[in-house]
Amino acid sequence: MGLKTIRISWYNRDSNNPKTNPNQNLFVKKLPKGVSHQEFHDKFSQYGNIISAKLQEDEDGELIGFGFVLYDSPEAVQKAIKEANGIEWKGKKIYVGEYIKNKPKSKKKFNNIYVKNIPRSFSDADIEKFFSAYGPLGSTLIKEPRENELAKLPEEKKQQILTHKYAFICYKNFDDAEKAVNKVPYYKVSDKAYNEQVDKLANLLNDQPELNKE
């Protein structure tokens, strides 16, 4: 395992500690290979007084192309963004922006859903018809459990599984897959009347939003 860089900075537990203030923290990425910690510090010290500067390293102590700068004022952060974002440094255009802690991740999109507890009496055509109500299907894979794969399960549980099918269903569009995931768990695939009642209740709640208030 490689050696990791020792970092030293002032210890401060004050609630006004600049480390907790996003306006004083800078995030820098797309850094050129071979930039040293000293070069990184010197580069960004021209925009204001630095409390600490850190280049991120992997477990082996190798630099991985991004870093953080903590300034003593928000003005220094804004100056660095204005003057350094998009500039070329050692042959690479770098990105400089505000550091946002716990930045929300974009929602993952998927087209494939997994469905279990489908009655064994349902044909492949029945299953495809039921799920195509939410949008066009790309492909389906419908399987029946094998008894030899369930040998270690209690008999009651095993019989419950053997009387049902499971399926992998691929929609052509993400939105359709999401609709199916959000609605199907509340339905019974073999009881149309029950499903209609569920839809009526859902529509009633949507029409009277005050009923959803805690």
Contacts of 81 (CB under 8 A, 6+ apart): 26, 96, 97, 98
pLDDT of residue 211: 43
Measured between alpha carbons, how far is 43 from 85 in angstroms, rounded to an integer? 13
To which residue do tokens 């700068």 refer? 69
To which residue do tokens 């660095």 refer? 80
Mean pLDDT of 1-25: 58
User: Residue 103: pLDDT above 60?
Assistant: no
User: Residue 50: pLDDT above 50?
Assistant: yes
Name the 3-class secondary structure at 162: helix
| Overall pTM surpassing 0.75 (yes/no) | no
Q: Is 126 within 8 Å of 142 (Cβ atoms)?
A: no
Radius of gyration of the chain (CA): 28
pLDDT of residue 170: 92
Q: Where does the pLDDT of residue 27 fall: very low under 50, low under 70, confident under 90, or very high at 90 and above?
A: very high
Q: Is 189 within 8 Å of 118 (Cβ atoms)?
A: yes
Q: Where does the pLDDT of residue 85 fall: very low under 50, low under 70, confident under 90, or very high at 90 and above?
A: very high
Q: Judge residue 166's burial from the number of C-beta atoms within 10 Å of its C-beta, 0-12 exposed, 13-18 middle, 19 or more buried.
A: middle
Domains and CATH numbers, the chain: 18-98 (3.30.70.330), 112-209 (3.30.70.330)
Q: Is 164 within 8 Å of 121 (Cβ atoms)?
A: no
Give 213 or 50, the one with higher predicted confidence: 50
Q: Judge residue 106's burial from the number of C-beta atoms within 10 Å of its C-beta, 0-12 exposed, 13-18 middle, 19 or more buried.
A: exposed
Residue type at 16?
N
Q: Judge residue 134's burial from the number of C-beta atoms within 10 Å of its C-beta, 0-12 exposed, 13-18 middle, 19 or more buried.
A: buried
List the structure tokens of 36.
Answer: 């040293």
Q: Is 24 within 8 Å of 71 (Cβ atoms)?
A: yes
Q: Among 152, 150, 177, which Cα is nearest to 162's?
A: 150
Residue type at 207?
D
- Please report, in angstroms and rounded to a whole number, the separation of the first and last CA atoms in the chain: 54
Mean pLDDT of 142-166: 81
Mean pLDDT of 172-185: 84
